[in-house]
Amino acid sequence: MARRDSELTRLSATALAARIRTGDVTATAAVETHLDRIDACDDDINAFVTVCRDASLEEAADADRALEERDEQRASVSHAGSEVTHEIGEDVGPLYGVPVALKDLGAQKAGVRHTYGLALFSDHVADRTAAIVERLEDAGAIVIGKTNTPELGHKGTTDNELIGATASPIDTDLNAGGSSGGSAAAVAAGMTPIATGSDAGGSVRIPAAACGIYGFKPTFGLVPDDRRPNAFGRETQHTTPGPITRTVEDAAMVLSVMAGPHPADPNAVPVDIDYRGALERSVDDYRIAYSPNLDVFPVTEAVETVVDDAVDALAAAGATVEPVDVDHGYTMAELSEAAMAPYATGVVTSSAP
Please state, in angstroms and rounded to a whole number, the distance separating the CA atoms of residues 15 and 209. Answer: 23
Tens of pLDDT along 148-193?
999 999 999 999 999 999 999 999 999 999 999 999 999 999 999 9
Whether the predicted pLDDT of 53 surpasses 60: yes
Domain stops at, among 248, 264, 281: 281
In total, how many domains does the chain have? 2
Mean pLDDT computed over 265-274: 91
Among 244, 263, 281, the domain-final residue is: 281
Residues 300-314 have a mean pLDDT of 95
In a shared domain, residues 171 and 317: no
Are residues 80 and 157 located together in one domain of the fold?
yes
How far apart (Å, rounded) are the C-alpha atoms in residues 96 and 324?
A: 44
Beta pairing class for 194-199 and 171-175:
unpaired
Catalytic-role residue among 103, 109, 146, 217: 103
Question: Could you tell me if 347 and 299 lie in one domain?
Answer: yes
From 56, 203, 217, 256, active-site residue: 203
Q: Do 271 and 288 belong to one domain?
A: no
Do 188 and 331 lie in one domain? The reply is no
**Residue tagged active-site, from 56, 179, 180, 198:** 179
272 and 289 in a single domain? The answer is no
Q: Which residues contact 78 (CB under 8 A, 6 or more apart)?
A: 85
- Give the whole-angstrom CA distance, residue 336 versus residue 243: 27
pLDDT in tens, 127-148: 999 999 999 999 999 999 999 9
Domain extent at residue 272: 2-281
Residues 6 or more apart whose CB falls under 8 angstroms from that of 109 comprise 102, 126, 129, 130, 133, 143, 146
> Is residue 103 annotated as a catalytic residue, yes or no?
yes
123 & 260 share domain: yes
- Tell me whether residue 203 is one of the annotated catalytic residues: yes
Final residue of a structural domain among 281, 300, 323: 281
Name the band, by pLDDT with cuts 50, 70 and 90, for residue 6: confident
Are residues 197 and 271 both part of a single domain? yes
State whether 254 and 307 are in the same domain.
no
Let me know whether 147 and 194 are in one domain.
Answer: yes
CA atoms of 203 and 215, how far apart (whole Å):
9
**Spatial contact of 241 and 108, defined as CB atoms under 8 Å apart:** no
For residue 233, what pLDDT is reported?
A: 61
* DSSP reduced 3-state for 243: strand
**Shared-domain flag, residues 276 and 290:** no
pLDDT of residue 5: 60
pLDDT tier at 90 (50, 70, 90 boundaries)? low
Instruction: Please state, rounded to an integer, the average pLDDT across all residues of the chain.
Output: 91
Do 86 and 132 share a domain, yes or no? Answer: yes
